[in-house]
Structure 1
Amino acid sequence: MSHQLPPLRCTRCYTEFPVQSLVWHCPCGGVLDVADFGARLPGRSELATRPATLWRYAEALPVPELAEVSLGEGMTPVVPAVGLADARVKLEYLSPTLSFKDRGAVMLATLAKLLGVRRLIADSSGNAGTALSAYAARIGVPCEIYVPASTSPGKLGQMRAHGADVHLIEGNREDAARAAKVAAEAPDASYASHMFHPYFLHGTKTFAFELWEQGMPETVVLPVGHGTLLLGAYLGFQELLAQQLIPRLPVIIGVQSANCGPLAAAADAGSPSPAVITPVPTRAEGIAIAEPARGEAILAAVAATGGTILGVTDNQVHTARAELAGAGFYVEPTSAVCWAAIQAARTGTAPASPAWATAVPHLTGPLTLALSGAGLKSPN
């Protein structure tokens, strides 16, 4: 099918920008979404004839599949969670670069290929950088990734193996983002930001489409930092509901590290905006985001499903990671936050707080959780 690349629209002032402009934020300060392009999902009989990749949902994606870009991403398996009869695990860490970020990175790389972009700039805590590095290598475009100096060596090695120029920035995740934005001002550069460019979310929404085919859960539990998986999943569930393919939105429970949990703090306070926090280092580096770019949208999304956002401690994450490994799932600490929250709810050790009071009934019933990144990325 032919594709017309849909424009971008500011969520604040509603100004539209052609995607060819390479604009990644509105002058008014608002973040951008993709303007409606009539995304549709084919029927199950048609899907049954298609390859088991995210490109099976071509009619719902903003870019066409380019065989020279794709690594066969998507359609990760869903398996039972050992020891919990009513819990299932979606193994996102079996994606080509070992994290769910491949879903969005292939959208940005395909767009870059179509637009003839000459250089890609991004910032990351690790997984987005490894994914973009791999797909930049696929399209033969130089790639620069700005990361905190504390980023796991496994992730740094993966980026460099794909040929990325990796810049280690002293400070936290926000410092790396600021450095990348400055570099992206160069005239030959494109800021391939997983949190700012909305085409990325149209890749991660395929997580929701796959769950529709694999068995729609009552509750979905997801790690959340900048929220690219959570917001993508919410977008996908909305599109499914709009087409009357599901009867209701599943409840979404987001999980953060308590050491860096602006969204969890906001959920506890009943605030529509992320809390202002002083982040503390955490083992869950992939979600150590003190200033999420789409924080208000994340909080609104979980509230719309009847869900909330929780914080778990590093000790809980350490224990959860070991339990998952003992059940056959070797994941990085960021992935273990979801299991930590589920175990806290089911063992009666959840804190007494408004957010946990909302979450516990959902965490103790049928659910699916995402394991977002592989343990080899952060082996220690």
Structure 2
Amino acid sequence: MVKLICSECGRRFSPKEKIFQCICDGVLEVAEKKVSFPVNKIRKRKNSIWRYREAIPVESDKNVVSLGEGLTPLLPLKYTDLEILAKLDFLFPTGSFKDRGSSVMISHLKDLGVKKIMDDSSGNAGASISAYAAKAGMSCEIFCPSYASGGKLTQILYYGAKLNRVPGMREDTEKAILKRTKEAYYASHNWNPYFIEGTKTLAFEIAEQLGWSSPDNIICPCGNGGIYLGLFTGFRELIEKGVVSSMPRLLGVQSSVCPPIYNAYREKIDFVKPFKQISRTIAEGVCLAKPVRGQLILKAMKESKGSFEVVKDDEVIRGLRFLALQGVFVEPTSAIVIPAIEKFYQNRMIGKKEKTVVVLSGSGLKTTDVLASSRFLSLEYQRAS
């Protein structure tokens, strides 16, 4: 029987309870799941995250809310003499990997009979949740920082959600919504554990695309750990069921403007200190001053023998150019992984004979207002050596 378990105090709850956190304010995880991977059946199914139905803890098939998301391409990149594969996880209905989590979370909420939801987001999650709420027939309200990219805000409005633009930094948006959570179900992509149950399908796809095996390393952007924890959860389940034999080294990347997880890694502590962000970054999707799942991210990093790096905005711009010259157009938050490759190589976290996957999480079409600025276009193209 599926249970929700608090990662802080160990309290257990029924998945039918309409809660987003424990009464001790701890984060919840989905536990005691019945998971299986009928490989022969999976390969015959449609290209969707729901091809892994036996590993997704949504109760009723009739409540599955899907827009056909999943099985995004795994593309080899030309990168000196390292073997780099790009997981194009921006090729989704709403243009970001968030559709994995939204599909599963909204399906679970439909199981619960939820009719009205709200969430806070830097943009991508808000757009994604708005789309799946529209598909499910739910009323939706989204809170975003006032500086969020115009393309993402336009998506939210077109999906029919109510949009609240909040002045200040990303944490101010969360503070604003927490004052109103009694008005609707708080369908938080950061707090709700079913969102991770969706993003874990990224691990399943990578393994399947590599012939049901694990890469040596995976590099991904990390703000609140939606990708990072999804990868860890997914590969752990694959290992437990004997589908793959090893956990990839999970390598997270943050912006130098707001690196609370990196700081904890560098200081060798097992908790994440709140970070006071005083300036903005073009990698807006990874800026969370106090990630609610920070301790779980550090635990996953330790168990996967992973690490963290930070990059500056100028390095992100070079990453954008590098990808564009290979025909791949992503938003800055996605490109943060490219300059990190060399940093991880220099730190001996990845090797020449190893297979490394980089996760590209959001489409450049969402941030054309930023990317079209003179700051970007004035730079010369930087071709891969």
What TM-score results when the alignment is normalised by the length of structure 2? 0.90
The 5-angstrom pairing of residues 39-78 of structure 1 reads 39-42=35-38, 44-63=39-58, 64-66=60-62, 69-78=65-74
Shift in CA distance, 321/17, structure 1 to aligned 2, threshold 3 Å: same
Give me the whole-angstrom Cα distance separating, in 1, the residues matched to 2:223 and 2:352.
Answer: 20
User: Displacement of 1:311 after TM fit?
Assistant: 0.6
Letter in 2 for 1:108: M
Mapped pair 1:375 → 2:370: no
Of 87, 98, 103, 1:101 maps to 98
Give 1:21's aligned residue.
17
Q: Deviations over 1:355-376 (max 9, x none)?
A: xx363x4588420000000001
Is the 2:6–2:26 Cα contact (8 Å) retained in structure 1? yes
Q: Which runs of 5+ in 2 are unaligned?
A: 372-385
Q: Aligned equivalents of 2:351 and 2:364: distance in 1?
A: 27
Kindly tell me: are residues 65 and 86 of structure 1, through their superposed partners in 2, closer, same or farther at Cα, counting changes over 3 Å? farther
8 A Cα contact 1:66 1:110, kept in partner: no
- Is 2:285 the partner of 1:276? no
Superposed displacement of residue 170, structure 1: 1.0
CA contact (8 A) 2:120 2:188 kept: yes
Aligned equivalent of 2:89, options 83, 86, 92: 92
Secondary structure class of the residue paired with 1:301: helix
Determine the C-alpha separation between the residues in 2 that align with 1:37 and 1:67. Answer: 18
Counterpart of 2:22, as a letter, is C
**Counterpart check, 1:293 vs 2:288:** no
CA deviation after TM superposition for structure 1 residue 19, in Å: 2.5
Q: Choose from 156, 168, 171 the match for 2:165.
A: 168
Query: Does the CA-based 8 Å contact 2:83-2:352 persist in structure 1?
Result: no
Pair 1:211-2:206 in alignment: yes
Matched to 2:187, the amino acid is: A
1:252 aligned counterpart, secondary structure: strand
Change in 2 beyond 3 A, CA 1:46/1:285: same
Report what 1:264 is aligned to: 262
Partner residue, 2:124: 127
Percent identity (aligned): 39
Instruction: State yes or no: 1:202 paired with 2:201.
Output: no
The RMSD of aligned alpha carbons is 1.7
Give the match for residue 133 of structure 2.
136
1:353 aligns to what? none
The letter of the residue matching 2:218 is V
Instruction: Name the CA shift for 1:67/1:326 in 2 (closer, same or farther; >3 Å).
Output: farther
Which deviates more, 87-96 or 31-40? 31-40
> After superposition, where does 1:305-324 map in structure 2 within 5 Å?
305-324=304-323
Per-residue CA deviations over 1:277-303 (Å, capped at 9, x if unaligned) read 221311100001110000011011011
Partner of 2:380: none
Once the two structures are overlaid, the 10-residue window that deviates more, 7-16 or 229-238, is 7-16
> What is the Cα deviation at residue 35 of structure 1?
2.2
Tell me the TM-score normalised to structure 1 length: 0.92
Does residue 111 of structure 1 match 2:108? yes
User: Which runs of no fewer than 5 residues in structure 1 stay unpaired?
Assistant: 349-356
Which position in structure 2 is the counterpart of 1:332? Answer: 331
What corresponds to 2:4 in structure 1?
Answer: 8
Q: Aligned partner of 2:147: which letter?
A: S
1:177 paired with 2:174, answer yes
Task: Pick from 33, 39, 55 the counterpart of residue 29 of structure 2.
Answer: 33
- Equivalent of residue 188 in structure 2, options 149, 172, 193: 193
2: CA distance between counterparts of 1:253 and 1:102?
22
Read off the aligned partner of 1:265 and give its amino acid letter. Answer: N
